[in-house]
Amino acid sequence: MIRRVVSFAAGLGLVAAGLVALAPSAPAAPHDEGVIPGAYLVTLRSGDPGAVAREHARAHSGEVAHVYRAALRGYAAHFSAQAAARISRDARVASVVPDRVVTMAGKPSSGGGPQTVPTGIDRIDGELSSTVSGDRSGSVDVDVAVIDTGSGPHSDLNVVGGKNCSTGSSYNDGNGHGTHVAGTIAAKDDTAGVVGVVPGARIWSVRVLDNQGSGSWSSVICGVDWVTANASTIEVANMSLGGGGSDTGCNDGGLHQAICKSVANGVTYVVAAGNSSDDAANHVPAAYDEVITVSALADFDGKAGALGSATCRSDVDDTFADFSNYGPDVDLIAPGVCINSTWKGGGYKTISGTSMASPHVAGAAALYKVVNAGASPADVRLALIAAGNYGWSNLDDRDLVKEPLLNVDAF
């Protein structure tokens, strides 16, 4: 049964529909839950993607939304179900997959002021890393893509470019979520606001969700495709998004296939485990083996020892966040509760979710790549796991298996 996630957790981050592979001869019916009626992803065996897309659009009264050349060879478009069925029988077509809804929800509270070291950066020992996060000096020479609602503009971020795969013409953030993620990764080490794991790193703003935090898998794949085309520049990509689904393998004709190709081109992907208090195996891209999947730690004081008092939400210090997904697909845990970071419009906000845990690890992956430029995504994953520690309680961790807590003091 196709299942759409209605909510990760109220006010905790991203909500998304799953992606289910579809046999080429049987495009999904428009009434299937989570499917965008009349919207399809077409993956090709042969032919130029742009030329085939135009040909199909003319022949079948379609409208092309995206053309993919790097992570996938194909396109996204709107057709009738009958047209999609005819297209699936074209010898050049490998698969026709239904496009699906992606949405996001957040519940921020105020933050900011003179520069402080956020509790998450403190807890992973960012101030002890080679960048000494918080000493108000220096920046890191590395490139990270934030595949989200966009990032910036913000005076505390070094946003150098990007791609808009959503509505409008700008890759700037119209929601706030993507700017928050970018700040945890790379907020500048200066006199204002907050500081990130890799301060001042170059952020590439890849906007795949609109101002309301809504989008589609076709727009997410557009972002992955753009990152893949720029894999010679971009070392790490963060995806604080996801939804219902499972590990479908690298030939699903959709998101998994795109990410597999991007990873094969050398980009390390870090993704949120999800906020459903569920096994991450039931959520994508968290279930994919090719990514680094991150659960959330509740930490209120930036210190080990379980002495911090709850601040922006109820939870227990130094424990597995009560909303976080869990399971064997999770590689690392990182702070994800009451995280203060940059926000749209030049401000700062505090929010919670595995969406906030993931960018701590993305920053760590980028930091590792600075001194290990030739490391593969698999190498980065193993290095981060090996550097982690187990100084936290697995209270509320439903599988009772401790994943290593991110630590960057050796990087």
Active site residues: 148, 177, 355
CB 369 within 8 A of CB 235: yes
| Residue at token pair 């991450």 | 280
Burial (CB count <10 Å: 0-12, 13-18, 19+), residue 22: buried
How far is the C-alpha of 17 from the C-alpha of 4, rounded, in Å? 5
User: Nearest 10 degrees: CA dihedral of 131, 135, 141, 146?
Assistant: 90
Residue 123 CB-half CA count within 13 A: 36
Residue 193 CB-half CA count within 13 A: 26
Strands 158-164, 268-272: pairing is unpaired
Residue 81 to residues 22, 26, 35, 56: CA-CA distances in angstroms?
Answer: 13, 9, 12, 14
How far is the C-alpha of 185 from the C-alpha of 236, rounded, in Å? 11
**Tokens in use for 382?**
């193993």
Helix (H, G, I), strand (E, B) or coil at 360: helix
**Tokens in use for 162?**
């990007």
Q: What is the DSSP letter of 325?
A: -
Q: What is the DSSP letter of 27?
A: P
Number of Cβ within a 10 Å radius of residue 382: 13
Number of Cβ within a 10 Å radius of residue 113: 11
